[in-house]
Amino acid sequence: MHTRVLVVDDDRSNAELVSRTLASRGYAVDTAPDGTAALQLVKQHEYQLAVVDYQMPGMNGVELFRHAREIQPDLFGVFLTAYANINTVFPAIDAGAERVLSKPLNCEELLRLTKELIGDGDEDRKPVA
């Protein structure tokens, strides 16, 4: 059984980095380039975690996460931002996010946090020797 994660970032290279990092640990990962596409996925699939870029054109990460939690109230959220300060952290936490991580992303920190929030990605996956 795979644990499902949604990655939303308008920066394709960052979305790919996050997606590859999580997929390497057995998580089933879907990506979306913006809030509108992300909400369509949230309506179609059940996610345990959303990793969301804070600043995106159109709908920002806070708006997206608020809408996503209306659809899936138990969804965990982690925000990514290059501008971690009081003006980004408090709105993200107020929207229900568990953590705000700074860019450039520390992949090991993301993996530790993901495991803490939603467990292992694939319980059937054998450990690498």
pLDDT at 84: 78
Max CA pair span of the chain: 45
pLDDT at 127: 40
**How do residues 18-27 score in pLDDT, each as one tens digit?**
999 999 999 9
Residue 126 predicted with pLDDT over 50: no
Instruction: List, in order, residues 6 or more apart from 19 with CB less than 8 Å away.
Output: 7, 29, 31
**How do residues 59-109 score in pLDDT, each as one tens digit?**
999 999 999 999 999 999 999 998 877 888 889 999 999 999 999 999 999
Confidence class for position 120, pLDDT limits 50, 70, 90: confident
**How do residues 49-66 score in pLDDT, each as one tens digit?**
999 999 999 999 999 999
Helix pair 61-71, 86-94: axis angle to 10 deg? 10
Q: Residues 104-129: what's their mean pLDDT? A: 78
Separation between Cα atoms, residue 104 and residue 72, nearest integer Å: 28
Can you identify the CATH homologous superfamily of domain 4-106? Response regulator (3.40.50.2300)
Task: With beta carbons less than 8 A apart as the criterion, state whether 110 and 101 touch.
Answer: yes
Confidence class for position 122, pLDDT limits 50, 70, 90: low
pTM to 2 decimal places? 0.90
